[in-house]
Amino acid sequence: MYLDKRIESYFYNTGHIIGKGSFGCVYKGIDQNTQKEVAIKIVKKAKSQEEAYSQKTFINEMTILKKLRSKNIVRLVDVCESQSNYYLVQELCKQGDLKRILKQKQLEEQEAIKILHDILSGYQILLKKEIVHRDIKPANILNCNGIFKLGDFGLATQLSQQMMLNSRVGTPLYMSPQVQLNSNYTNKCDIWSIGILFYECLYGKTPWFHEKSSKLLKNIYEQPLSFPSTPFVSNISKSFIKKCLEINESDRIDWIDIYNHNIFRQNPFKIQGCNPQQIITKIRNIIKTRELDINQLIQNITQQKILKISDLKVFLQSIDKQFKLEDAESVFDKLNNQNEDSISFECLLLWFYQNDIIQSKNQDDISAPLNLQEQSIVNNLLDCLINHIRFNSISIIQILKELNVYQNEAIQFRKFEQILLKINFQLSKTDLTLLFRKFYDEKSGFIKIQDILKVFYEESELDDTDDEFSASPVQIPIKGPGLKLQSFKNLERLS
């Protein structure tokens, strides 16, 4: 194969496209150092709004893949950049994708179940890291010597503490109704996609079809799920599909029940360690049944401003000896948004607070001064809000205009609540109460808008001359042609 292009130690042929990801072409290449074949996804650096979105999805995919290690997930080998492109180097899956297989032949039921098992094996690590794929479809399931792997994480996202999403992303044919409607949804959106995919593996077509997404959604709601008479498919597989394709998320099967379903009785899953939400539930139950003084345990670590995984392990084992290192790693990954080797104590405190492990001592008094523990929580909340404003290009001035609030005005709780919910609608009532107490002026009995602007105005990048919002595009520093990205921090702040 003639190789006409090079990036770092990787060579590839621009005429040899082996696929297209969410927002970039994928080429077959070779690593000159190891002589191993690789897949190289290339995304242009942003010069337009469309390219800026492609760049963002590339950065997102790179950041997500760095966190995932599984034989059933396409492995990230390297990331490089040149003057004009970014390069995502991954393992090469020579046998192509599931979409091509389904075009070539009709799968037997046991073949389809084996593929389903591989997909769900890879998805276990996504559950552990609290990541939602959001684009599961045959084209994104790759075959590597008979092992099927999840690929293309350009639309994947990490769940926030509030656990709800509302972005309409993915491929309509495999989107859950909630995603198509832009309503709130959880990681159960991927259960719907898996149900559609498994149905297609068995029958060679999807249960509902229309080229227009609006008509497709109408069909889903109006046409009951049905199964063709041929080929023959067992009732166990049909039962699995029915539970995956419940229209209402609350009725849809849970992940834990998926992994325990009878369809896998001959090849049961080896369930991995607890995910963060299971750990929270376990801690909550321990506090209740043993009447544990969690505040005293927290007090014992308040002297530590930063926590490593080993510190988290010691702390969790002070709650219950059965907690393991992998549980500490799971919590650490949940809270480690910056991919550092430690997290702040405030991160752990905020996580406990948002999950009702610890509570404010003055919840009923919105004017009470903050104690030290609450101040730590508020500082973390403010950091999250500032990042949310920056990454989503939110204009504080525009919000004030929409709510008819003047910059020299003083407001009470209700108006303060409206402003902050405009910034982030997922803030809880308790979050809002704590933030109100942070800004509360005891002398006047109100909050001054000027005090809010002092915290958020600069982050919204407003033009003082006309109060019109204008966001400066964030540029990634160019390191020069062919230089490897030694640090991902500049990229991750955009993801």
Q: What is the CA radius of gyration of the chain?
A: 25
Ligand-binding site membership of 45 (annotated): yes
Tokens of 252: 């849809």
The secondary structure of residue 173, as a DSSP letter, is G
- Whether residue 10 contacts residue 78, with contact meaning beta carbons closer than 8 Å, is answered with yes
Note if 464 is an active site residue.
no
Tokens of 2: 């003639």
Measured distance CA(131)–CA(275) in Å, rounded: 11
Assigned token pair, 427: 């803030």
List Cα–Cα distances, 77 to 66, 69, 87, 438, 493, in angstroms: 9, 11, 11, 46, 21
Find all residues with CB under 8 Å of 422, minimum gap 6, and list them: 399, 402, 403
State the CB neighbour count (10 A cutoff) for residue 96. 15
CA distances from 94 to 90, 145, 207, 443 (A): 12, 7, 29, 71
- Phi-psi bin for 29: left (phi > 0), alpha (psi -120 to 50), beta? beta
CA-wise closest residue to 428 among 375, 376, 363, 370: 363
For the beta carbon of residue 7, count every other beta carbon within 10 angstroms.
Answer: 22
DSSP E strand stretches across 92-167 = 131-132, 141-144, 147-150, 157-158
Collapsing DSSP to helix, strand or coil, 12 comes out as: strand
H helices, E strands: number in the chain: 19, 14
**Catalytic residue selected from 31, 118, 135, 431:** 135
SS (H, E, C) 279-328: HHHHHHHHHHHHCCCHHHHHHHHCCCCEECHHHHHHHHHHHCCCCCHHHH
Please report which helix (H) or strand (E) contains residue 89, including its range.
strand 85-91
Rounded to 10 degrees, what is the CA torsion of 265, 267, 273, 278?
-30
Sign of CA dihedral 426, 63, 337, 82: negative
Binding residue positions for ATP = 45
Catalytic residue set: 135
Binding residue positions = 45
